[in-house]
Amino acid sequence: MSPLSEPRWLDPDEAAAWRGFVTASNLLNRRLERQLKEDSGLSHQQYEILVHLSAAPGGSLRMTELADNLVTSKSGLTYQVTQLERIGLVARRSCPSDIRGVIAELTDQGREALRQAAPGHVALVRELLIDVLSREQLAVLAEGLGAVSARLRLDEA
Amino acid sequence: MSPLSEPRWLDPDEAAAWRGFVTASNLLNRRLERQLKEDSGLSHQQYEILVHLSAAPGGSLRMTELADNLVTSKSGLTYQVTQLERIGLVARRSCPSDIRGVIAELTDQGREALRQAAPGHVALVRELLIDVLSREQLAVLAEGLGAVSARLRLDEA
DNA sequence: ACACCTTAGTTCGAATTTGAACAACAGGAG
DNA sequence: CTCCTGTTGTTCAAATTCGAACTAAGGTGT
Q: At what angle do helices A108-128 and A44-55 cross, to 10 degrees?
A: 110
Q: Give the percent of chain B with pLDDT over 90.
A: 92
Give the per-residue pLDDT at B6. Answer: 67
Check the CA dihedral B135-B139-B145-B146 and report its sign.
Answer: positive
Interchain contact A124–B (C-beta under 8 A): no
Contact A24, B149 (CB under 8 A): yes
The answer to whether A7 contacts B72, with C-beta atoms less than 8 Å apart, is no
Outline where A9-134 has alpha helix (H).
12-40, 44-55, 63-70, 74-86, 108-128
pLDDT at A1 over 80: no
Q: Is the CB of B79 under 7 A from strand C?
A: yes
Contact B141, A21 (CB under 8 A): yes
The answer to whether A142 contacts B16, with C-beta atoms less than 8 Å apart, is yes
Q: How many CA atoms lie within 13 A of A66 on its CB side?
A: 33
Give the per-residue pLDDT at B156. Answer: 76
Furthest-apart CA pair in chain A: how many Å? 62
Interchain contact B55–A (C-beta under 8 A): no
pTM for the structure as a whole: 0.93
- CA angle (A78 as vertex; A75, A81 as ends), nearest 5: 150
pLDDT lower than 70: segments of chain B:
1-6
Write out pLDDT tens, residues B77-118.
999 999 999 999 999 999 999 999 999 999 999 999 999 999
In angstroms, how far is C7 C1' from B32 CA?
35
